[in-house]
Amino acid sequence: MCRLLGYLGNNTQLHKLLYQPQHSLIVQSYQPKEMTAGLLNADGFGLGWYHPHKEDSPYIYKNTLPIWTDINLPHLSRYVDSRCFLGYVRSATPPLAVDLSNCQPFTHRQILFIHNGFINNFRSSLYRPLRDSLSDEIYQLIHGTTDSEHIFALIMEQWRQSPHLNLTEVLSQSLQYLTQLARTQQVYFSANILVSDGQQIVASRYANRSPIPSLYWLRDELNYPDGVIIASEPMFEGKWFSCPENTIITVGETLEVKLHSIC
């Protein structure tokens, strides 16, 4: 299982989010507390953020090394300021390769995507059905072999087919479609997802059976005023709220946190 982190709010230095919290994403890579599978998140990491004054595609930094071994990241993270940030540390699902093509975040146009979870027996269960559901345009977005990237492609396909939907509706519709596919193959999956267009973050805590990986959110903490953090595990002492199971969290430009049940 991976560990996820999302931030939306006032401009903040990435170093402040990555290194200063007592139980930061860095610490969660080697000492996670609430993983339902695996022991470490040492199979690479990825960061994505949006420039605060440009309406262009997000910026990405990825590495296949454990995040704690990257000597460039402390310097890079002090240089970058952003009002919207996604990050993750990876625990690869065997036998998926540890290479950059399988490293998140995945991105298309304005969208950033990260996923914590897995599709059980992916190659022999939902690999082909997911690919068969994609248009050629979206099919060409897949460069790696992970279940995560195929879930991302499914979301982009659902949005291509229904461009009138908002990001929350697209994620909900995608998870319902994935549930139907999984039911036909009698396969288990979990899908804690964070997706953003730079103006909002939409997150899910979802699986089609227990256990469902943990997900928390916090708003307007003293060290992060006018900001919302969504994370797999609480990063410091504070008023963290556990996201209900089978729920989508939406955080918009006003930073109002809205919860939506996935039917």
Catalytic residue list: 2
Residue ranges of alpha helices (H) inside the chain are 14-18, 25-30, 73-79, 127-132, 136-139, 147-161, 167-185
Q: What is the mean pLDDT of residues 197-223?
A: 95
For the segment 151-166, the average pLDDT, to the nearest whole number, is 96
pLDDT band per the 50, 70, 90 thresholds, residue 256? very high
Q: What is the pLDDT of residues 6-55, one digit of tens each?
A: 999 999 999 999 999 999 999 999 999 988 777 888 889 999 999 877 66
Condensed to tens digits (0 to 9), the pLDDT of residues 115-128 reads 999 999 999 999 99
- Could you tell me if 74 and 114 are in contact, meaning their C-beta atoms sit under 8 angstroms apart? no
| Average pLDDT of the residues in 221-232 | 94
Residue 74 has pLDDT above 90, yes or no: yes
Cα–Cα distances in angstroms (integers) from residue 229 to residues 96, 103, 135, 260, 263, in the given order: 29, 22, 34, 18, 25
DSSP state of 72: S
CA distances from 130 to 67, 146, 257 (A): 31, 12, 31
Q: What is the pTM (predicted TM-score) of this model? A: 0.95
Tokens 């939506």 correspond to what residue? Answer: 260
**pLDDT greater than 80 at residue 61:** yes
Residue 263 has pLDDT above 90, yes or no: no
Q: What is the mean pLDDT of residues 87-91?
A: 93
pLDDT at 55: 61
Q: Where are the domains of the chain?
A: 3-261
Distance (Å, rounded) from C-alpha 39 to C-alpha 174? 29
Residue 89 has pLDDT above 70, yes or no: yes
Is pLDDT of 87 > 90?
yes
pLDDT at 88 exceeding the cut of 80: yes
Domain 3-261, CATH class in plain words: alpha beta
Is the Cβ–Cβ distance between 127 and 38 less than 8 Å? no
What is the chain's mean pLDDT, rounded?
93
Structure confidence at residue 57 (pLDDT)? 87
Confidence of residue 140 (pLDDT cuts 50, 70, 90): very high
